[in-house]
Amino acid sequence: MSDDVKLLYNSFPKGESIMAKEKVILAYSGGLDTTAMIPWLKEKFDYDVVCCCVDCGQEEELDGLEERALACGASKLYIEDIVDEFCDDFVMPCVQAGAVYEHAYLLGTSMARPAIAKKLVEIARIENAVAICHGATGKGNDQIRFELGIKALAPDLKVIAPWRMTDVWTLQSREDEIEYCKSHGINLPFSMGKGYSRDRNLWHISHEGLELEDPSLAPNYDSLLVLSVTPQNAPDEVTDVTMTFEKGVPKSVNGKEMKVSDIIRVLNELGGRNGIGIIDIVENRVVGMKSRGVYETPGGTILMAAHDQLEELCLDRETMENKKKLASQLAQTVYEGKWFTPLREAIQAFVESTQQFVTGEVKFKLYKGNIIKNGTTSPYSLYNESLASFTTGDLYDHHDAEGFITLFGLPLKVRAMKLQETAKTNFTDKISGMVNEMQGHGKAR
């Protein structure tokens, strides 16, 4: 068990006999849904409810969870800080691969869910639990990501998804959940009003709901944004940034060496201030429907761009082309919750082999939503100035290009010659047919 695990126990009343109950691990966020699930799990299944909040960088969202979980009837709460593991083992493989879903989404929630599932299984083993419960809905991707992770790591554990259990989970609105909590002596300051549905971790924050449910409406950025400002509201001045990488992993920002999680924190601040990484996307969910959301990924957008900028120097064309194909496949694999699969491991192994020489320094400027290149250097750069310049040196002889083009274009030439031959034959046959037809008409007269 990690040192930063916080264990909070309820004390049993004196004289009360302690009956051993089966335990369920509840993936607990502190929000209304998972708060209502604590008494519900006890009432419907007679479980001993052990809450587990997995910290991937939710910041102030973790405030007050201890008191809330125990006050609502949980026997114990784990708060697991996995920020560094999340960044090193889940975020960086996707950054190195260049994995982006549908050309825009940087997989913030998709990468976090398998990391959370892994920790939930670990806690379930510690507690000898028989089940894991999550608060994902029956329409979203997260139910798939949580449950595929659990199946891959602990196939013997039961999974409880209340929002899909409509026969016993009869709470269909925030009002229903608040009244349910009150009826069980839980009076917490949850709002009746509907707000944005958000998911936050160190990598990003997502927004869904309200005006975003209508694709014809523009996002209300003034009330929506949390990490960023819009490009219009960004400063009218350039922010210069220098980053270094070693084997595809970021090592420093503006001369200061840091671990990956701290680099992302710094880039979040720089990117957020300059309006970087705000996307409005209608994406295709795994379950078959389209959904619209706004994502803020300021630091992640910068990190991905800086890594790409360095790879341009260090990777050869064929490796780059195949890496891009696998990046798309990895993005879909991760989006679909298939992190703990041989396919993800195989793609990651390929990507890691490409990163051995992705080392160097990247400079760029941030300005009103833009990331502008400002120079790149690497000891493993494949860019050769004498080759690239018009006055080439001994490595390149212009005369060699003639033979290369002859061979490189040979399939095109052979095809064109065949088309010409076919066209000539068809023309001859057509003329011959016309002559025969005219001769036939003459005999008829």
The H or E element containing residue 374 is strand 370-377
Confidence of residue 334 (pLDDT cuts 50, 70, 90): very high
Q: Residues 251-299: pLDDT tens digits? A: 999 999 999 999 999 999 999 999 999 999 999 999 999 999 999 999 9
The pLDDT of residue 255: 98
The H or E element containing residue 294 is strand 290-296
- Return the CATH number of the domain spanning residue range 199-315+358-385: 3.90.1260.10
Nearest in space to 245 (alpha carbons), one of 298, 308, 172: 308
What does pTM read for this prediction?
0.88
Q: Which of 68, 110, 113, 378 is catalytic?
A: 113
Six-digit token string for 355 = 């990163």
Contact present, 40 and 162 (Cβ < 8 Å): yes
Structural domain boundaries in the chain: 6-193, 199-315+358-385
Architecture per CATH, 6-193 = 3-Layer(aba) Sandwich (3.40)
Confidence of residue 9 (pLDDT cuts 50, 70, 90): very low
Residue 317 is a catalytic residue: no
Nearest in space to 299 (alpha carbons), one of 88, 110, 106, 86: 106
Q: Which of 33, 48, 55, 81 is catalytic?
A: 33
> Pairing state of beta strands 256-257 and 249-253?
antiparallel
Dihedral angle of Cα 29, 30, 36, 37, to the nearest 10 degrees: 30
Contact present, 333 and 149 (Cβ < 8 Å): no
Same fold flag, 6-193 and 199-315+358-385: no
Contact present, 268 and 227 (Cβ < 8 Å): yes
> Pairing state of beta strands 239-246 and 205-208?
unpaired
> Pairing state of beta strands 278-284 and 256-257?
unpaired
Q: Which of 142, 199, 206, 378 is catalytic?
A: 142
Residue 262 is a catalytic residue: no
Average pLDDT of the residues of the chain: 92
More confident residue, 187 or 120: 120
Q: Which of 197, 261, 291, 381 is catalytic?
A: 197
Query: Alpha carbon 414 to chain centroid distance?
Result: 46
User: What does DSSP assign to residue 59?
Assistant: G
426 φ/ψ angles, rounded to the nearest 5 degrees: -65, -40
As a whole number of Å, the CA-based R_g of the chain is: 30
More confident residue, 416 or 63: 416
Residue 113 is a catalytic residue: yes
Polymer length in residues for the chain: 445
Residue 197 is a catalytic residue: yes
CB neighbour list of residue 106: distance below 8 Å, 6 or more residues apart: 94, 100, 203, 204, 277, 295, 297, 300, 301, 304
